[in-house]
Amino acid sequence: MKKTLLIIAALFFGAGLFAQDCSSLFFSEYVEGSGNNKALEIYNPTDAEIDLSIYVVRRYSNGSPVFSDEVALSGTIQSKGVVVLTNGQTDSVWVSGGGYWSIPIDAELYDKGTLHCSGLYPTPMYFNGNDAMTLETITGDVVDIFGKIGTDPGSNGWNDLPPTYFAGDQFWTSWTKDQTLVRKHDVKNGVSANPATFMVNVEWDSLSKNYFDSLGYHQCDCGTLGVNTNEFKHSVVMYPNPSTNRVVTLSASEKIEFVSVINELGQVVYEQDFELGQKSVTLRGDYLSTGVYIVTARFIDNSFFTDKLIVR
């Protein structure tokens, strides 16, 4: 009996270690581009505005078990909204110790920032693909971790290949160096405990180097700022996503009467009316070349569904 009570107590205690869905801030996008094109997007899944002054972003450089540098956040973040933190170096800087020019952040990326680090090294926003990044409170409570603290996966960061998930010298396999990553829409909370193994592909989708267009909003099952909740009233599945064979299917619980596909340049590459409506629509063709697309479906009750499609 005593043993049973201990097990039950342990189960209740253990349950408290896991954050409830949509209850705290987390990283929603990661940009590790050329030069100093570095950015982190933070998403607020809760139903309330949050004061950012009690949070910091920290970098754990090259496998260090203690943080190397930090930046204090400021301002507020709306419910279901995001803030974007970028590197702040806007001019080229000669690094005498290394004998090279440090290239500034791309102006387009800088303009997408809500908050900026200073342009003086070191700050967390000089991170590379093998650095662990955290969102923490000023009292040291970890809210979210990108990577694994205390582990150096090699200069090319982490990849999606077991058993180590280390890219090592295989730069062509890296997911965290020279990549933009977007948190999957069904992720509803951050990683508050250092993972045994950082499997980046489990919670993140990989986009191309120096891709910035998805910064500034985050589509999440917790909700998206500025998106009518009517859009999600039906059950909708778009699969496979990412697609590797230029074939994608939309399957829904309500009849679809119109579908459009827009590419990264904002061009409509496909649109089709379905007069009588249908619950399954298959997209295929050369217009689905490698890249990122926005797919919109309109249902017969005039509600909408919009989601990001990745084609590899």
- DSSP, collapsed to helix, strand or coil, labels residue 228 as coil
Paired tokens of 135: 């969102």
DSSP state of 89: -
Paired tokens of 244: 């590797």
Considering the four listed CATH numbers 2.30.30.790, 3.40.50.1010, 3.40.630.10, 2.60.40.1260, the one that applies to the domain covering 19-207 is 2.60.40.1260
* Residue 309 φ then ψ, to 5°: -115, 130
If phi over 0 gives left and psi between -120 and 50 gives alpha, with beta otherwise, what is residue 146? beta
263-266 LR contacts (CB < 8 Å, sep 24+): 263/291, 263/292, 263/293, 264/211, 264/213, 264/291, 264/292, 264/293
pLDDT of residue 200: 96
pLDDT of residue 233: 61
pLDDT in tens, the chain (312 residues): 434 333 333 333 333 345 689 999 999 999 999 999 999 999 999 999 999 999 999 999 999 999 999 999 999 999 988 999 999 999 998 887 878 899 999 999 999 999 999 989 999 999 999 999 999 999 999 999 999 999 999 999 999 999 999 999 899 999 999 999 999 989 999 999 999 999 999 999 888 788 887 788 888 889 877 443 344 466 788 888 888 899 999 988 889 999 999 887 778 899 999 988 999 999 998 899 988 888 988 888 878 788 888 898
- On the question of a common fold for 19-207 and 229-311, the answer reads yes
pLDDT of residue 10: 37
Domain ranges, ordered by start, for the chain:
19-207, 229-311
pLDDT of residue 7: 35
pLDDT of residue 19: 60
Rounded Cα distance between 87 and 113, Å, is 9
In the chain, what are the helix, strand and coil shares in percent, each to the nearest 5? 10, 40, 50
Rounded Cα distance between 222 and 24, Å, is 11
DSSP state of 10: H
Task: Identify each DSSP E strand in 78-191 by its residue range.
Answer: 82-86, 93-95, 100-102, 115-116, 132-137, 142-146, 179-183
Q: Does domain 229-311 have CATH number 2.60.40.3080?
A: yes
